Amino acid sequence: MKIAFLFPGQGAQFPGMAKDLYEHSAAVRDLFGEASEAAHIDMAALLFDGSEDDLKQTDNTQIAITVANLAARQVLAEFGIRSDLSAGFSLGEYASLVDAGVISVADAIHLTLNRGRIMEEVSRTLDADDERAGMAAAMGLDLPRIEEILAEAEVADAFPSLYNSPVQTVVGGTPRGLRDAADALKEGGVRRMRRLQVSGPFHTPLMTPARERFAEIIAGVTFGDPDHPIYSNVTGGVVGSGEEARGLCLDQLVQTVRWTTEERTLLADGAELLLEVGPGSVLQGLWKAVGKVDDEWPVDRVRTAGTLEEIEAVAKEM
């Protein structure tokens, strides 16, 4: 059976995530210790005792979710479950890079720690008065139509950032940009706009200053060639080399995450079981959403594997 690991990204976090994995595995406790030392933060306290507000701040969220993702991967390995294919949603790509042997765990911690800090700082320069820049999900239309509406309305400072499913595209922007985008999209046929619990307009050209700063960080990290197929948010296809992966990490900051395209590529490449390796079930939900427009889509092929109970259940069925 060809198994794909899917690693969730920002927005999947919740207080208490990975606590059962921490209590179960000495290797996970070592991972938390390594991350705590690198970040100068008590990662166990942040993940287990931090509030929702603490966890949704980008400089905390990115390292926290990365640790939770890698903890789930570690426990899966202890049950003898490893991937044949790897993909990650937004931030989740860094755990997928570890999973495919492209970067080390230490480098993933280093990169996501700095990525989160830089993105948070740049995002705050885009706030206005008491309103924060951020992201909102547009329900009911696919990415090409969203792009058309925003272009026709000449909306400034708001851009498609996440192509989540054929019926949901996330838009990122400044406070004014998000208001203008909401007006144009509702007039264009979007059923509903929902603000997301993230603190910046990620994966849009508004993050160009973050890309420039992060380029200096990522230049010092070794990227090896993947030891098995890994998929890119930017292209929706397979990453060919470590150097390509390095460039795509930078491009991903300012370009739309084409997750729906990535899902179709994974299916075409023979993924028979897809495990959501990390907190929550966001990616399972996005996979099932494709079935709303495609009657032949295998909606039940994704399983969650972010808690000890879920991992044990998957292991029993293997």
Whether residue 190 contacts residue 168, with contact meaning beta carbons closer than 8 Å, is answered with: no
User: Order of strands across the sheet with 3-7?
Assistant: 85-88, 3-7, 273-276, 302-304
Other beta carbons within 10 Å of 148: 12
90 is catalytic: yes
Chain length of the chain: 318
| Given the residues 86, 90, 161, 232, the one annotated as active site | 90
Alpha helices (H) along 153-238: 175-188, 208-218
How far apart are alpha carbons 223 and 69 in whole angstroms? 20
Cβ-in-10-Å burial (0-12, 13-18, 19+) of 53 comes to: exposed
For 160, half-sphere exposure in the C-beta direction (CA atoms, 13 angstrom radius) is 25
- 110 given a catalytic annotation: no
> Which residue from 6, 24, 5 is spatially nearest to 81, judged by alpha carbons?
5
Which of 24, 25, 199, 203 is flagged as catalytic?
A: 203
Buried b (16+ CB within 10 A) or exposed e, 84-94: bbbbbbbbbbb
3-state secondary structure of 160: strand
> With b meaning 16 or more CB within 10 Å and e meaning fewer, what string describes 273-306?
bbbbbbbbbbbbebbbbbeeeeeebeeebbbbbb
Catalytic residues: 90, 203
